[in-house]
Copies of this chain bind each other. A is one copy, B any other.
Amino acid sequence: MFFNRKELQFEAKPDKPDPIFAKQLQEVIGGQFGEMSVAMQYLFQGWNTRGNEKYKDLLMDTGTEELGHIEMLATMVAQLLEGAPVYEQEKAASDPVIGAIMGGMNPHHAIVSGLGATPENSAGVPWSGGYIIASGNLLADFRANVNAESQGRLQVARLYSLTDDKGVKDLLSFLLARDTMHQNQWIAAIRDLEEKEGGVIAPSTVPPEWEATEYSHTLYNFSEGEDSASLPWMSGNAPDGHPFKYEQAQAFGQKPILKPGPLESHDTLPEDKLKG
């Protein structure tokens, strides 16, 4: 069960309106690695956790925090659109700067949301449940999480260079910091699980006889040149303890020939049925 407190987790006050940046900032609300993604990802992982209550609690802590991040960013977008020349069609004709704003902003901010944030990315594509990951395997999912926080922090860093508004930069500074913490915590949790599960390969529960282990440590060269062979770690042991090998790619399988379909499939008949 959730509760809401009116105050934001951190100050979210831009110095001035900026509809173009409002469009760009949508990426970290409703993009693949926006706050909607991490909030829903951590909450679904928490709700689906089986038999690991401490990690369930960590997931609920972090997912719940992320709900508040959507809130801060939505509030920021709404304020970036306040007082902006969004509907000033007549001025746009004579003032190229206003014209550029009206052409370059997210049209949804003018037409659909009435100067509010939308559940969309910076191109106006709606957020999708297909972005999130909650597999029931915590090691796999914490890897998804450290990736999400890495991609998210990268996007925040890029947005930092796309604005010179001090108020906006303050909020981005806070988000950079929280993404640092979240990278730290998921990395620490991964190390914990790798140690407890006794290995780095997820899932650790696959019986060895299920796996064709003779193919588990070889880098096959599928592209011209052997640059990849000289990567420093290729000459050592793999993280799971066995030595890496390097080989030219080869085919171990058959040349596939499919049988003709039944008449009911109305597939093209085989060549010899067609001819003559």
Contacts and interface: CB of A to CB of B under 8 A. Distances in A.
A75 to B, nearest CB: 4
A262 B87 contact: yes
B203 A60 contact: no
Given A8-B251, A251-B8, A267-B115, A151 B135 contact: yes
18 contacts: A3-B249, A4-B223, A44-B74, A50-B115, A60-B222, A65-B222, A101-B103, A103-B103, A110-B158, A113-B136, A116-B134, A120-B123, A137-B150, A137-B267, A146-B147, A177-B211, A177-B212, A205-B263
A136 to B, nearest CB: 3
Interface residues of A, number: 199
Nearest to A54: B227
Interface string A118-157: 1111111111111111111111100110110011011101
A44 B116 contact: yes
Interface string A1-44: 11111111111110000001001100100111000100010011
A162 B108 CA distance: 13
Contacts of A116: 44, 47-48, 134-136
A78 to B, nearest CB: 5
Nearest to A215: B177
A240 to B, nearest CB: 6
A118 B134 contact: yes
A136 B115 CA distance: 7
Contacts of A121: 108, 124
A150 B147 CA distance: 12
A48 B78 contact: yes
A129 B126 contact: yes
A91 to B, nearest CB: 11
Nearest to A220: B65
